[in-house]
C-alpha cells in the first residue's frame, strides 16, 4: 500500500478525533491539495479524468478547482488507489433492479477512516440529541443484517455504530428476497416496537431505516390498525430514498406519519444524507425555533424548523449550477458536489445527481435531478 496515502490517512484520523474547530478553511485547503496530488499519482482512472480536463497539481490552486467525478463513473471505472489484493470490502450503490451498481473499494485502512468519520459525526449530530444514555436505548434497524447485505454502506454504517455503542445484536428487522431486494419482517418489527405495548420493557427506542422502509412499516401499521406510543426519548433516523420500492411521500408527510403511528415527535426525527461513493455523512435535525412564556406562566414552543444538512469539518459541500458549472449563491438550487477528505484511497471530489439549495454552510435536499438514474439506499444496497 502506498506509504504516502497511509501517512495522510493516519494524520486525518488524528484530526477527526479532535474538536470540530481542528480543520479550518485554510487547513482544509492545504489537506485537499495534498490529497489531490496523491490521488493523481496513485489513482490511474482519476488521473486520466483530470488530464482530460487539464487539471493537475501544477494548475490547481484551491480545492474548489479540483475535478469532481460523477457518481456514475464509479459504475464503469475502478476509481481506487488500492491494488486488487488490498481490497477488503466493496460498497455498491443502490438502484433499480438491473442497473449496474457503483463500486467503492475499501481496504482495512480505509474502513478505519470511514468508521472514525462515522462515529465522530454520528456522535455529534445524533447522540448529542439524546436525553438518556445510549445504553438505555433499544435499537431497531429496518434493514437486513450485515450477513445478508455485505456490500451495503448503509448496513455497514448501522452495524459499525451498533457495535461501537454496544447495542444488542438482534436489532435488524429487514431481510433480502431472492433477487437481493430488501423487504421487512413485519412481525419482528412489531415485536421490537413493543408488541402493541404489551412489553414491559419501556426503554426508549432508536429506529433507523430508509424512507421506503419506514413507508412499508407505516403502511403495515395503518393496515393492521396499529398505533404505538413509544417511550419518552425515542428517536427515528431516516436516510431518504424511495425509487420504485414504495410510494413516495413528501418528508413532512412521512414525518407526520412517524409521529402519528409511532409517537415520535418531529424534533426527535433525524435525517441522514450519504452515498456509497463517500466516506462521510451529512445530518439534519429539527428543533424549536424559540420559546415564549404566556400570561399564565406556561411555556409555549413555537413552530419547528429544519436544521439544514451539514457534513463534518473534514468535508465540504458545494451547490453547483448545472447551467454555468459555478457555485450557486445562497438560496439557489443546483447539483450537490461533495469534497470528502475521508475518501483517501478513492476520489475525494464527488459530483452527486441530487439537487440541493445552498443554505449558508449547509444545504437543503430537494431530490434527484431530472434524467438521473433512480437510486437511493432504500433500493437494494447503499
The domain locations on the chain are 3-91+315-368, 137-276
End-to-end alpha carbon distance in the chain: 26
Residue 297: pLDDT over 90? no
Could you give the residue ranges of the DSSP H alpha helices within 63-194?
A: 73-76, 108-125, 153-165, 186-193
Distance between CA atoms of 318 and 300, rounded to whole angstroms?
37
What pLDDT, on a 0 to 100 scale, did the predictor assign at position 147?
94
Contact 289, 303 (CB under 8 A): yes
Q: What pLDDT is stored for residue 296 in this prediction?
A: 41
In angstroms, the CA 347 to CA 148 distance is: 28
Does the pLDDT of residue 287 top 60, yes or no?
A: no
Residues 357 and 48: their CA atoms lie apart, in Å, by 31
How far are the Cα atoms of 29, 114, 358 from residue 205, in angstroms, in the given order?
Answer: 40, 26, 33
Per-residue pLDDT, 307:
66
Closest CA to 139 of 214, 81, 210, 192: 192
Mean pLDDT of all residues in 327-352 = 96
Residue 323 binned pLDDT confidence (cut-offs 50, 70, 90): confident
**236 neighbors 276 (Cβ within 8 angstroms):** no
Rounded (10°) CA dihedral 11, 16, 19, 22: 50
User: pLDDT tens digit string along 130-179?
Assistant: 877 777 788 999 999 999 999 999 999 999 998 888 777 668 999 998 88
Report the pLDDT value the prediction gives residue 298, as an integer from 0 to 100.
Answer: 38
Report the pLDDT value the prediction gives residue 165, as an integer from 0 to 100.
Answer: 84
Q: How far apart are CA 144 and CA 166, in angstroms?
A: 19
Q: What is the pTM of this model?
A: 0.88
pLDDT at 250: 87
Alpha helix locations (H) across 244-371?
A: 251-262
11: enclosing H helix or E strand: helix 3-16
Distances (CA, A) of 88 to 85, 91, 110, 327: 8, 10, 9, 36
How far is Cα 333 from Cα 349, in angstroms, rounded to an integer? 19
Amino acid at each position: 500500500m502506498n506509504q504516502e496515502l497511509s501517512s495522510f490517512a493516519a494524520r486525518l484520523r488524528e484530526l477527526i478525533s479532535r474538536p470540530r474547530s481542528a480543520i479550518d478553511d485554510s487547513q482544509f485547503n492545504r489537506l485537499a491539495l495534498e490529497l489531490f496530488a496523491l490521488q493523481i499519482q496513485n489513482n490511474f482512472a482519476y488521473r486520466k479524468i483530470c488530464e482530460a480536463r487539464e487539471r493537475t497539481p501544477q494548475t490547481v490552486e484551491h480545492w474548489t478547482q479540483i475535478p469532481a467525478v460523477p457518481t456514475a463513473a464509479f459504475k464503469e471505472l475502478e476509481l481506487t488507489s488500492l491494488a486488487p489484493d488490498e481490497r477488503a470490502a466493496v460498497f455498491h450503490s443502490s438502484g433499480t433492479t438491473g442497473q449496474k451498481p457503483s463500486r467503492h473499494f475499501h481496504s482495512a485502512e480505509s474502513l478505519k477512516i470511514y468508521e472514525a468519520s462515522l462515529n465522530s459525526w454520528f456522535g455529534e449530530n445524533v447522540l448529542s440529541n439524546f436525553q438518556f444514555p445510549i445504553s438505555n436505548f433499544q435499537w431497531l434497524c429496518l434493514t437486513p443484517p450485515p450477513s445478508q447485505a455485505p456490500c451495503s454502506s448503509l448496513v455497514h454504517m448501522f452495524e459499525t455504530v451498533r457495535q461501537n455503542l454496544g447495542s444488542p445484536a438482534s436489532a435488524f428487522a429487514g431481510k433480502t428476497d431472492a433477487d437481493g431486494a430488501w423487504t421487512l419482517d413485519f412481525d419482528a418489527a412489531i415485536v421490537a416496537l413493543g408488541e402493541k405495548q404489551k412489553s414491559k420493557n419501556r426503554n426508549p427506542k432508536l429506529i433507523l431505516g430508509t424512507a421506503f422502509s419506514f413507508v412499508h412499516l407505516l403502511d403495515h401499521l395503518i393496515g393492521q390498525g396499529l398505533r404505538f406510543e413509544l417511550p419518552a426519548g425515542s428517536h427515528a433516523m431516516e436516510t431518504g430514498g424511495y425509487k420504485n420500492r414504495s410510494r413516495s411521500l413528501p418528508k413532512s408527510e412521512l414525518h407526520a406519519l412517524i409521529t402519528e403511528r409511532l409517537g415520535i415527535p418531529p424534533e426527535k426525527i433525524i435525517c441522514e444524507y450519504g452515498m456509497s461513493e463517500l466516506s462521510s455523512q451529512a445530518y439534519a435535525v429539527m428543533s424549536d425555533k424559540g420559546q415564549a412564556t404566556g400570561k399564565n406562566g406556561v411555556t409555549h414552543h413555537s413552530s419547528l424548523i429544519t436544521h439544514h444538512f451539514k457534513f463534518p469539518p473534514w468535508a465540504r459541500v458545494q451547490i453547483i449550477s448545472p447551467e454555468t458549472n459555478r457555485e450557486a449563491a445562497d438560496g439557489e438550487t443546483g447539483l450537490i458536489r461533495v469534497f470528502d477528505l475521508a475518501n483517501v484511497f478513492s476520489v475525494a471530489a464527488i459530483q452527486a445527481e441530487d439537487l440541493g439549495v445552498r443554505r449558508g454552510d449547509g444545504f437543503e435536499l430537494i431530490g434527484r435531478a431530472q434524467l438521473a438514474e433512480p437510486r437511493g439506499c432504500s433500493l437494494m444496497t447503499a
